[in-house]
Amino acid sequence: MTDPVPRPAPQADRDSVPFWEGVEAGELRVQQCDACGRLRWPPREICGRCRSTASTWRALSGAGRIDSWIVAHQVFHPAFADSVPYTVLQVAVDEQPDIQMIGLYEGEGEPAFGMAVRAVFVRGSNGAMLVHWTPSPG
Amino acid sequence: MAVMQGFRDRVAIAGIGYTEFSKNSKVSTLTLATRAIAAAVADAGLEMDDVDGLATHRVGDSALPATVVHALGLRDPKWLLDLFGGGSASHSVVGQAALAIAAGVADTVVCYRAINARSEFRMGGTGRPLVDAAETQYQAPYGYMAPPQQFAMMARAHMEKYGTTAEQLGAVAVTQRGHAAMNERAMMRHPITLDDYLASRWIVEPFRLFDCCLETDVAVALVLTSAERARDLQRPSVLIRGIAWGGGFTLYSSDRPDSTRSAAADLAPRLFEQAGVGPRDIDVAELYDCFTYSVLVQLEDYGFCKKGEGGPFFESGATALGGSIPVNTHGGFLSEGYAHGLNHIAEAVSQLRGSAADRQVEGAEIALSTSQPGYIAGNTSALILRRAP
Ligand SMILES: [Zn+2]
């Protein structure tokens, strides 16, 4: 799709570069705490549960469930002027549902609470690879 | 806790001041600030030179306290606070000013908020630069960047989990408009019906136009001084009975609960314990209403009704003038206008003074006023005020 102006590109910070490199490679990568095993996202140095700073990046399956969703009608950024109405999901990832990601919905019909979805990787008008979500039957 | 109970009733809100609520003030935020401050100082019956502290919260959109001090010609201010933060910080500013007075750092502090949130820096996000926050990278590329979207996401989760309906959201908009009809300051005073609400255009489902607060050019100022000093001033004393802060969760907190619980649920027990009162003792509540839904979740999380029952509770009429707990008697951000939290505190003061004219809650002695309940920013703050005995 052509947008009137490019969509905002992800502005990686010094913590998040490995995450966005993973997205470019078609993977959802999060940190796993080496001490307590807790998954952590967005990226940061310290584990919010055990305060260990040792962690290892691992790829998620990309499976999740819809926690909530909105349908955007009002245009808050000119890049989305031709895209309204569009549906944005808040997705709880299967491996650890308190990790929740915002992303666009690529599917027919209204989303539903608890609906199974999976991550798909889409190159946006900003040139960056982004994470969208599509229904995952069964 | 002993320290905080010792703080009860030691500081008063002695003056309130407003500029006009409008869509285009045609003046700077500095001018709005100095106008509201002058009005508040006059309302208190003080002189400008009595002011020795200033405090505000801002999101990069308003005159700094250090600038306002010099514009007003205040020599040697003893205490200034410039707090970065949105609606969740609004009551924090007043609380911190009260602590400064109680600690003896300053005698008379004016808290103000001055914004051209319609004509210059639109609070709803339209045409505004993206927020400079680490989280923006995970949201803005998907067209998720504005407060109405973020609160709509929370509202949908509540509707799914508890069956909250569009009609219940609409009841908030309709009831508050009815209150605004009795408030000569309010920007939106013509009554609306539930049908009007349901027919208003989508902003972001499940929010319609009338779910969203007004974007407003305005300044509001509050004069704080010691309870002892306030006793000798011209207005009935309104005392700060309790202040509390809360952390809560953002979307990216670890171990966060589901999306239907706000940080107010953590703050409320602390606030009520500190003030020595409970939800049943509150005569009037001015609850942060950036969106209709924010009111419903706070009714639950401050304990006015059970979790999940905010919709039916509001729909019952309990929160209307004449009900058991009148809410947003000025019309709130939805209908009076948006002064980023301070107009809620000013209205609570008017109610406790008994000067709220047609919308007066009869015999109001104790009021709750709250900031944004901490969904997005991960912090919140609230005040309990009482009329001096
Ligand atoms: Zn850990």
Same domain, A73 and A138: yes
Q: Is residue A15 in some structural domain? A: yes
Q: Which pLDDT tens digit goes with each residue over B46-101? A: 999 999 999 999 988 899 999 999 999 999 999 999 998 888 889 999 999 999 99
Q: Is residue B168 in some structural domain? A: no
Q: Which pLDDT tens digit goes with each residue over B5-38? A: 678 999 999 999 999 999 999 999 999 999 999 9
Same domain, A74 and A35: no
Q: Is residue B188 in some structural domain? A: no
Q: Is residue A45 in some structural domain? A: yes
Q: Is residue B90 in some structural domain? A: yes
Structure confidence at residue B88 (pLDDT): 85
Q: Where are the alpha helices (DSSP H) in chain B?
A: 2-7, 29-44, 65-72, 90-102, 147-162, 166-180, 194-199, 227-230, 264-275, 292-301, 310-315, 332-335, 342-353
For residue B3, pLDDT over 60 is answered with: no
Angle B181-B185-B187 (CA atoms, 0-180°, nearest 5)? Answer: 70
For residue B321, pLDDT over 50 is answered with: yes
Structure confidence at residue B86 (pLDDT): 83
Helix (DSSP H) and strand (DSSP E) numbers for chain A = 1, 8
Last residue of a domain, one of A59, A82, A98: A59
Same domain, A131 and A65: yes
Q: Does A48 touch chain B (CB under 8 A)?
A: yes
Q: Choosing from B288, B293, B302, B375, which is the catalytic residue?
A: B288
Q: Is residue A1 in some structural domain? A: no
Q: What is the CATH number of the domain that holds A134?
A: 2.40.50.840
Q: What is the CATH number of the domain that holds B295?
A: 3.40.47.10
Structure confidence at residue B5 (pLDDT): 64
Query: Are the CB atoms for B140 and A128 separated by under 8 Å?
Result: no
Give the residue from A68, A86, A87, A99 with the most B CB atoms within 10 Å of its CB, the best one to mutate.
A68
Nearest CA to B175 among B301, B296, B46, B28? B296
Q: Is the pTM of this model over 0.90?
A: yes
For residue B220, pLDDT over 70 is answered with: yes
Q: Is residue B169 in some structural domain? A: no
Q: Is residue A5 in some structural domain? A: no
Percent of chain B at pLDDT above 90? Answer: 86
Mean pLDDT of chain B: 94
Query: Are the CB atoms for A36 and A47 separated by under 8 Å?
Result: yes
Same domain, A36 and A76: no
Nearest CA to A60 among A118, A129, A17? A118
Phi, psi torsion values for B294, nearest 5 degrees: -55, -35
For residue A97, pLDDT over 60 is answered with: yes
- Residue B87's domain comprises 2-121+213-387
**A128–B139 CB contact, under 8 Å:** no
Nearest CA to B89 among B370, B331, B359, B322? B370
ipTM of the complex as predicted: 0.96
Helix (H) or strand (E) holding B242: strand B238-246
Instruction: Please compute the mean of the pLDDT values over residues B152-162 and round it to a whole number.
Output: 97
Structure confidence at residue B4 (pLDDT): 59
Same domain, A48 and A74: no
CA dihedral of residues B314, B319, B323, B326 (deg, nearest 10)? 170
Same domain, A89 and A26: no
Q: Which pLDDT tens digit goes with each residue over B180-195? A: 999 999 999 999 999 9
Q: Is residue B107 in some structural domain? A: yes
Nearest CA to A61 among A17, A113, A118, A103? A118
Percent of chain B at pLDDT above 70? Answer: 98
For residue A121, pLDDT over 70 is answered with: yes
**A68–B130 CB contact, under 8 Å:** no
Q: Beta-carbon neighbour count of residue B45 at 10 Å?
A: 15
Q: Is residue A6 in some structural domain? A: no
Q: Is residue A73 in some structural domain? A: yes
Q: Is residue B12 in some structural domain? A: yes
Number of domains in chain A: 2
Mean pLDDT of chain A: 95
- Residue A102's domain comprises 61-138
Q: Is residue B126 in some structural domain? A: no
**B143–A40 CB contact, under 8 Å:** no
Give the residue from B254, B259, B291, B293 with the most A CB atoms within 10 Å of its CB, the best one to mutate.
B254
Q: Is residue A36 in some structural domain? A: yes
Number of domains in chain B: 1
Phi, psi torsion values for B17, nearest 5 degrees: -145, 145
Same domain, A53 and A67: no
B201 vs A contacts (CB less than 8 Å): 73
Q: Is residue A3 in some structural domain? A: no
Least confident of B25-29, B37-41, B260-264: B260-264
Same domain, A45 and A82: no
Q: Is residue B186 in some structural domain? A: no
Structure confidence at residue B2 (pLDDT): 46
Instruction: Find residues 129-158 of chain B whose CB sits inside 8 Å of chain A.
Output: 130, 134-146, 148-149, 152-154, 156-157
Same domain, A65 and A121: yes
Query: Are the CB atoms for A65 and A101 separated by under 8 Å?
Result: no
